[in-house]
Structures are given as structure tokens and as C-alpha cells.
Amino acid sequence: MDKSITREDTNDSVPAVPRPSKKPSKSAKRKQKHVLPEPYSSEDVLWRDIVALLGDNTVGHALQHGTEWDSPFDFREEVEVEVSTLSSNGDALAHSPASSAPWVIVAPFALPGERIRVRVYRSSRLHSFADLLEVVSPNLDLRDDSRAKCRYFGQCSGCQYQMLSYDTQLGIKRNVVIKAYDNFSNLPKETIPDVLPTIASPLQYGYRTKITPHFEAPPKKARKEAESGSTSSTDKPSWLKIGFNEIGKRTVLDIEECPIATPVLNAALEPIREDIIKNIWGYKKGVSLLLRDSIEHLPSDISFIPGPEDEKHICVTNHKATVRERVDSTYFEFPGHSFFQNNNSVLLPLTSYVKDAIFPSSKSSGPTHLVDAYCGSGLFSLMLAPHFDTVAGIELSAESIKSATTNAIINRLPQGKCSFLAGDAANIFSTVSHFPPDKTALIIDPPRKGSDEPFIEQLVRFACSTVVYVSCNVHTQARDIGMIIKRMEQEGGGRKYVLESLRGFDLFPQTAHVESVAVLRLV
């Protein structure tokens, strides 16, 4: 899978929620077409949380009587509610007041047990989205607003949890994994192991190695005023916002610093902003910027692991320029637009965990061959290569194959040890058909949409001894793991995959996102 094209960059910005500009008329409400959420989308995940909060009987009653779209709230109506729980997307969920029909209010930046005042701006199926106006009664066991290190927290859509302790964040993310497998795996509960505690990120701030602020081109009215000389051409126009999406809106929030981004990126952001302000009238279209933290040069001796003072980092802003990163003693190069995990500090714990899952201490011998599907620029292939006789990374993207092959050379892997192959989507495992399945481990790290049925069919036919599924979307991972297990039960000839372990990894502290690692063993 070409991650450089298809894999969303988690948490660069949260999709804006469209809101009406005025209260819709009753006739407009009747004509409105109701669209159900795409399966496994963030809207579908939210719907599962809403059903769990209201209860099956309440939801069933509304569906039976056709009232699931009949919101009890008007546009911009203000209401006071008590938060019951958090959604898997990080929003607060609250029952509507007892005086109204059963309904759920969805609001940002609030916590269970808090009484909040909100303003409704959009209604959907048995729930309404609302702006948080006030935390009337805070939950001081959870909330400490002094923890927030960003002056834009509460306005920017990027972070959800800066008011929480880090241990609390990790616990919430473990619960997201639990709910994902309950809701989407279709597996019997007794076959799902207890989800292990979420692995923490070594850095909780200053960790993001890539950010993509954006801004809009000058509006027509402002451009005309500038051309007539009625506005200053050097001052920053009031309409110009360079940053990330404002929570729940289509508007951009002007952001001068992002505390979860690395210091290198924040240092580069200021002069970039100044240059945009200086040249804003030359832009005909809006622009999405790229800022990536990169090592300036690879060392002449790659066996030397430099200290922080010896390794100069720069900010890369060109989509086609080369970005360089180091994970422990392994170096990676890839184009600026390509996918690479955006929290370097957690990559050694992540790859070490995957290695330990493949080679548990309880087994006297382990796999000799590794297949790294969706290998990208070779993160898992190269980090785990010393532990295998032969490694094959498979990708659909020719550009990613080129980067991975270059990285194997940079890191001086023995010739023939590690190969990167362009696999055809219809028969991706044909390139490794000579690998012994009982001595082969498979790592899959797909884009957010997960794997597809043809891929899973091939996986089951290949029947390798161990599968480690790394995912940036635990909900599609749960679906795929369920499909793999059930398909093997049907076609495995007495063999079956057992879900041995589940664990979240926190690649994006202060946000609701959680990465997930599932380990399957063939028995």
C-alpha cells in the first residue's frame, strides 16, 4: 500500500464539522437527506458509543418509531448537561436533560462527571454536536487546567487531553482498544485477551516531527482594498490565519507555536509565518505547509551513535526534499511527502515490542524469515533484520521500495539479507512464496482503512506462524483481526490463529489517538 499517498497523517488536524449558518426551516428539515456513517469511520465509532450510552432498548425504540433524527434541540440552543463518558474520538458524551427525549450531546474538552453549559450547532442521528461554553462544575479528580502547555488548547482541534494527567490519558487509550474489539471484531469475548497497559511515549510534548499548518488566500474584498491602497501591504491582515483547524469549525486558528511539535519545527515556523505575511498578496490559492524535522547530514560512520549535541537537525519544507531520521542506530531517508511515523521518540519501544512479540522468551526457537507488508521506507524490516536470516519488505509504492532499498544500503545490511519488492495487490504474497510458512513471521502496518478481503485471503492461505498487526486505526484493526481468525477457522484445515495479545501505543500524547499492536499465533 502506498502510504505516501493513502495513509492519513494522524492528528495534523481534526476534520472540520460543517455547521449551518442559520436555523433551518421546518420544511428544510423534512427535505434533509439523512446519510448513515461509513462503516468503521470516526462517525461510525461515535455512533457505537452513543448506542452504548443510550442503551439498545432506547435506540431500538427510536429506530422503530422513526424518531432517531428528531432532535429535541434548536440550532444555537444552550443547554446544561452532565458528562457521562468520553467517546473513542475524545469528545464528551452527555445525556440530554430529563425533560427532553433520550438524546446525546457531543461536546469537546469536557470530562466525565462535569456539569457543562453548551450551545448546539448541529444535530444528527440521536445526537447533537455542541460548543463548550462553560465548565460549570469541573471534575477536579481529573481536570487540572494548569497542565495545558498550549495557549490555544480549547480552541485548536489538534489536542483533546492536555488538562489530564499522562497516566489518565494512557488509561483512556487502553479503554479505546477494549471498546474497538467489543464493537468491531465480531469475536467471542472469551477469545479476546485482556488489553495490556498502553505503552507511554518517552516525550509527551515536543515529539511531533511533522506538522502541516495551512492558510487561505486573500479574500476578493481584501485583495481589492489592497490594490486600491486602502490597507497596509506590510502588516498582517486581520483575516489571515496561519495554523490548524479551529475545533468544530471550518475556520483556521492562527497559531504561532505548537508545543507538541519538536523545537526545530517551532523555531522554523516563525520565519515561515513572517515570509507568508510579507508575500500574502501573491497567493492565488490556499496553501498547506509542510514542516518536517530532519537530521541535516548522515554521519560518515553510521556505526557511531551521536549525542544530541553532535547531531544537527533542520526543518525540511520541500515535499520532494530528503528527510533523514535515526531510530537507535538505524538511519532512514525518505521524501518529505512520504509517510513515516511522526513521533520518533516512541519508535524504538515500538519496534522492540514487535521483535519481542515475534520471539517470546518461552519459545526455544523462532521464525527465520520476516515478511514486512506495507513496509513503507523499511522501519520494521531494517530494525528487525539482525534477528532474521531473510527479510522481505513488500509495498505497492515504487517510491517507497526505492527508499527502503536505499536505507538497507545506508545501514550496510549484507547483500541478499533484506530485499524490498513491489507486490501486486491481487497477489501480494507471490513474491515470498518460497518462504517456509512455519518459520515466517508477518508484520502488517496498513493505512487507516486497514486491509481488504483479498489481502486477508492471501494471508490465510500463506499461513505463517506469527502475525503482528500494527495499526493507526484500532477499529479497522479489530475488524481485520476478526476476519483473519474466522477465515482461518474455515479454511485452516484444523489450524487456527489465536489472538495472543493486544496493546496500545501512545504515538500522539495529548490527543485521543492510539496506535494498536495485535499479535496472532498459529496453533
Task: With beta carbons less than 8 A apart as the criterion, state whether 53 and 104 touch.
Answer: yes
Angle at which helix 42-54 crosses helix 56-65, to 10 degrees, equals 110
E strand or H helix at 485: helix 474-491
445 is in an annotated binding site: yes
What is the C-alpha to C-alpha distance for residues 481 and 31, in angstroms, rounded to an integer? 40
Q: What is the 3-state secondary structure (H, E, C) of 200-239?
A: CCCCCCCCECEECCEECCCCHHHHHHHHHCCCCCCCCCCC
395 is in an annotated binding site: yes
| Cell numbers linked to 19 | 455547521
Of 123, 58, 52, 124, nearest to 84 by C-alpha is 52
| Cell numbers linked to 424 | 501486486
43 is in an annotated binding site: no
E strand or H helix at 51: helix 42-54
Task: With beta carbons less than 8 A apart as the criterion, state whether 2 and 504 touch.
Answer: no
155 is in an annotated binding site: no
Beta bridge partners of 78: 119
Residue 472 known to be catalytic:
yes
Beta bridge partners of 519: 468, 501
Task: With beta carbons less than 8 A apart as the criterion, state whether 163 and 148 touch.
Answer: yes
Of 135, 134, 131, nearest to 120 by C-alpha is 131
Q: Which of 258, 315, 375, 472 is catalytic?
A: 472
What is the C-alpha to C-alpha distance for residues 498 and 352, in angstroms, rounded to an integer? 22
Instruction: Give the catalytic positions in this structure.
Output: 472
- Provide the annotated binding site for S-adenosyl-L-methionine: 341, 374, 395, 445
